[in-house]
Amino acid sequence: MKKFAAALSGAEIQAVCGGEFRGGEQLRITSVADPAEAAADSVVFWEQDRCLQVIRGSRAGLVICPAEKADLLPGRSLLLHPRPGFAMLKLVSWWLESSAKKLTPGIHPTAVIAPGAEIGTDVHIGAFCVLGPNCRIGAGAVIEAQSAIGPQTTVGKNTWLYPRVTLYPGCVVGEACIIHSGAVLGADGFGFALEDGVQQKIPQVGNVVIGDRVEIGANSTVDRGTLGSTIVGDGTKIDNLVQIGHNCRIGRHCILCAQVGLAGSTILGDYVYMAGKSGSAGHLSIGDRAMVGAQGGVTHDLPADGLYWGTPAIDARVYKRILALQRKLPQIYGHYRQQAKKEEL
């Protein structure tokens, strides 16, 4: 459960979220919660039909649900809304905005800032940060404690780095991004050439360029390009423990779930969705809006708009059909053995 400072009436919540409030004037809501842990001052929302019983048993003061579910919740204060999850999102965002204790702007006295660093207005730089020569931090940015910001890097306006982020030299992060703790941007791409029995390092002299409004999860890694840039487009969201190889070019508004791995020079269009633990071989393209299922392994170019699964990743319907038929292998094999024996006679 999350409690906020401001208590809201049903009418005020309707004003924030839209929809239609049905309930008493006395109602005051000051927290959001899962139905099972809700209190009388909590709002909960209808996620799926199977949560009906839990909501009925909940002590929640207000339920956000679609109008057509209202009859299932008699005697409850309701906010009728066609998209309860979205209404909840707006409400929580409003609360966060109104109660935000922004980290105070200012540079912690322990931070080590190299000469030539340009720090914008209203920037927060936490304890034990190290900023290299000629880095540029845009106005309103937050660099939390213990981050390492390399020379010649750029961090855009209002971007938020959680504690312990590393930006290698020359990396560029856009505006309004969120980079979670432990993420490493710009480490060397993984390139070696076997020469006289020794893995000789191919110098990695490119950089990483992150667009605007990108989110990168905890302990994820984005490698620098060999010569050019590794690029992540505007609005793309990357979960934890994801690996982006050197020279990848990821489009805009993509979703990369946890533990995804893209080998070098993979090109993703816009709105591509890669489910958890999926990956791709290098030097190939995945088209706009393509979706790759969990653990899927992409081994060749994938056209736009498809749904793909398996390794090698193919049309998900075909793959599911194959999975189903694999279950029939005992029957098929039994029949084959029987036939083969007959023929032997």
DSSP 289: T
For its own copies, the binding residues in 31-90 under the rule CB under 8 A are 32-34, 37, 85-86, 89
Closest CA to 204 of 193, 189, 221: 189
10 or 150: CB nearest its own copies: 150
Tell which positions 139-198 bind its own copies, by CB under 8 A. 144-146, 148, 162-164, 166, 168, 178, 180-182, 184, 187-188, 190, 192-195, 197-198
Q: Which residues within the stretch 107-146 sit at the binding site for its own copies (CB under 8 A)? A: 108, 110, 112, 126-128, 130, 144-146
Q: For residue 248, what is the DSSP state?
A: -
- Please, which residues have CB within 8 angstroms of residue 203's CB and are 6 or more apart in sequence? 226
Least distance from its own copies to the Cβ atom of residue 136, Å: 18
Binding to its own copies (CB under 8 A) within 265-294 occurs at 276-277, 279, 281, 294
Can you tell me which of 5, 100, 340, 345 binds its own copies, judged by CB under 8 A?
A: 340
Q: CB of 71: closest distance to its own copies in angstroms?
A: 26
At residue 185, φ and ψ (nearest 5 deg) are -110, 125
Tell me the closest approach of the beta carbon of residue 328 to its own copies, in angstroms. 6
How do 314-315 and 307-309 pair as beta strands? antiparallel
Residue 345 half-sphere exposure toward CB, CA atoms < 13 A: 5
Question: Binding to its own copies by residue 240, rule CB under 8 A?
Answer: yes
Task: Identify the active-site residue in 124, 180, 246, 253.
Answer: 246
Considering CB under 8 A, how many residues would be counted as binding its own copies? 101
Q: Does 332 bind its own copies (CB under 8 A)?
A: yes
Choice from 12, 297, 307, 315 touching its own copies (CB under 8 A): 297
The helix (H) or strand (E) run that includes residue 250 is: strand 249-250
Tell the smallest beta-carbon distance from residue 10 to its own copies (Å).
Answer: 19
For residue 246, indicate whether it is catalytic: yes
Q: What does the block give as tokens for 116?
A: 């030539």
325's enclosing H/E stretch is helix 316-326
Closer to its own copies by Cβ: residue 80 or 242: 242
Among 77, 59, 84, CA closest to 21: 77
Q: Which of 11, 40, 72, 323 binds its own copies (CB under 8 A)?
A: 323
Q: What's the angle, vertex CA 300, arms to CA 299 and CA 306, rounded to 5? A: 105
Nearer to its own copies, 67 or 326 (CB): 326
Tell me which residues in 81-110 interact with its own copies (CB under 8 A). 85-86, 89, 92-93, 96, 108, 110
Among 22, 28, 59, 237, indicate the residue that binds its own copies (CB under 8 A).
Answer: 237
| Binding to its own copies, residues 198-227 (CB under 8 A) | 198-203, 205-206, 213, 215, 217-219, 221, 223, 227
Give the CA count within 13 Å in the CB-facing half-sphere of 236: 29
80 is written with which tokens?
A: 């009728």
Cβ atoms of residues 229 and 209 within 8 Å: yes
Which amino acid, one-letter code, is at 281? A
Nearest to 138 by CA among 86, 173, 87, 92: 173
Catalytic residues: 246
